């Protein structure tokens, strides 16, 4: 199957300054790919190269197996730039209607539905829109023609938590419909619940690509079990993957490295009345990729 996004040795230097170096990456059809990195890491540079907003110093980028400059390709892409320049006296609704025309028409009621979901008033003049509302108009224009590929640069920036949830629901729906999404972010928490894979870029280099499901399975999580009567410690000692075991009367707490299977089977011999399992903290794993000292260790692994 042809990759939707494919890059080989993609590199951009701004004079002597490295924007991005040697990016080789494939994003598959129907995948949501989270592109993570701190400020100045090279996320926007990557996205601009993919859309041919800037030209690479060397290397190639392909969308749907074709040159990003190909007009047929451009029609299949929805793009939210990181910095949106929406100014002037024109109403947001007029601007979106104009863009819809340029793109050869869009589904009926699409703009209104998206505006309602994101809670934005489109009768406001563009120059008077708040930062958050500009971001929403940007999202509407990216989604409204139901493109096969969405490329979103920091899509959640400036959105309040409820609207962020709505946006993530839109991404999930796009994925269910078989569309492909590439979205950048500073923080894993914003993308981990919708992404299949994440890539981490740091100082212009891709330092890791991870499968979210695999990562979740690997992650350490805290578990608490409450029984109907005190349980003997021997029943839980030395279980594979179980650490920091603490038993106080009828309550057990521990951390689990990987699968909880051994703990569950040991617990099943008693009567469990309550179970608490915290969401694994993937952010902690990711912070290690961001820090310089462990950078090489991870890349080598």
Ligand X SMILES: Nc1ncnc2c1ncn2[C@@H]1O[C@H](COP(=O)(O)OP(=O)(O)OP(=O)(O)O)[C@@H](O)[C@H]1O
CB of 14 to ligand X, least distance (A): 3
Q: Which is nearer to ligand X, 53 or 278 (CB)?
A: 53
Q: Residue 247 and residue 21: Cα distance in Å, rounded?
A: 51
Q: Residue 164 and residue 158: Cα distance in Å, rounded?
A: 9
Number of residues that bind ligand X (CB under 6 A): 12
Residue 17 binds ligand X, judged by CB under 6 A: yes
Q: Which is nearer to ligand X, 16 or 269 (CB)?
A: 16
Which residues, 47 to 86, sit near ligand X by CB under 6 A? Answer: 82
Pair type for strands 149-152 and 180-185: parallel
Which residues, 30 to 49, sit near ligand X by CB under 6 A? Answer: 37, 39-45
Of the candidates 35, 25, 34, the one whose C-alpha atom is nearest the C-alpha of residue 195 is: 34
Which are the contacts of 64, defined by CB distance < 8 A and separation ≥ 6? 2, 4, 73, 76, 148, 149
| DSSP string of 171-196, one letter each residue | HHHHHHTT-EEEEEES-GGGTTTT-S
Q: Which is nearer to ligand X, 54 or 97 (CB)?
A: 54
CB of 61 to ligand X, least distance (A): 14
Q: Which is nearer to ligand X, 41 or 80 (CB)?
A: 41
Pair type for strands 272-277 and 220-227: antiparallel
Site string for ligand X, 228-267 (x = CB under 6 A): ----------------------------------------
Footprint of ligand X on this chain (CB under 6 A)?
Answer: 14, 17, 19, 37, 39-45, 82
């Amino acid at each position: 199957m042809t990759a939707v996004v494919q890059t080989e040795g993609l590199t951009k230097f701004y004079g002597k300054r490295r924007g991005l170096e040697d990016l080789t990456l494939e994003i598959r059809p129907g995948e949501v790919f989270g592109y993570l990195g701190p400020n100045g890491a090279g996320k926007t540079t990557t996205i601009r190269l993919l859309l041919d907003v800037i030209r690479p110093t060397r290397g190639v980028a392909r969308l749907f197996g074709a040159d990003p400059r190909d007009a047929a390709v451009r029609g299949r892409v929805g793009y939210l730039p990181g910095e949106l320049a929406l100014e002037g006296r024109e109403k947001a609704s007029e601007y979106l209607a104009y863009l819809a025309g340029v793109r050869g028409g869009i589904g009926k009621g699409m703009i209104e539905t998206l505006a309602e979901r994101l809670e934005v008033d489109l009768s406001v003049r563009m120059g008077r829109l708040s930062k958050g509302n500009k971001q929403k108009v940007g999202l509407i224009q990216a989604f409204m023609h139901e493109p096969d590929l969405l490329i979103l640069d920091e899509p959640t920036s400036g959105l309040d938590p409820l609207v962020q949830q709505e946006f993530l629901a839109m991404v999930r729906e796009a994925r269910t419909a078989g569309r492909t999404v590439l979205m950048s972010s500073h923080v894993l928490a914003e993308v981990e619940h919708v992404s299949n894979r994440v890539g981490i870029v740091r100082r212009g280099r891709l330092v890791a690509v991870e499968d979210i499901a695999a990562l979740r399975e690997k992650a350490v999580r805290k578990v608490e079990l409450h029984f109907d009567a005190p349980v003997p410690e021997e029943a839980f000692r030395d279980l594979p993957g179980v650490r920091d075991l603490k038993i106080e009367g009828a309550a057990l707490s521990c951390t689990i490295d990987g699968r909880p299977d051994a703990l569950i089977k040991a617990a099943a011999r008693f009567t469990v009345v309550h179970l608490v399992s915290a969401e694994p903290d993937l952010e902690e794993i990711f912070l290690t990729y961001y820090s310089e000292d462990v950078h090489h260790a991870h890349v080598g692994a």
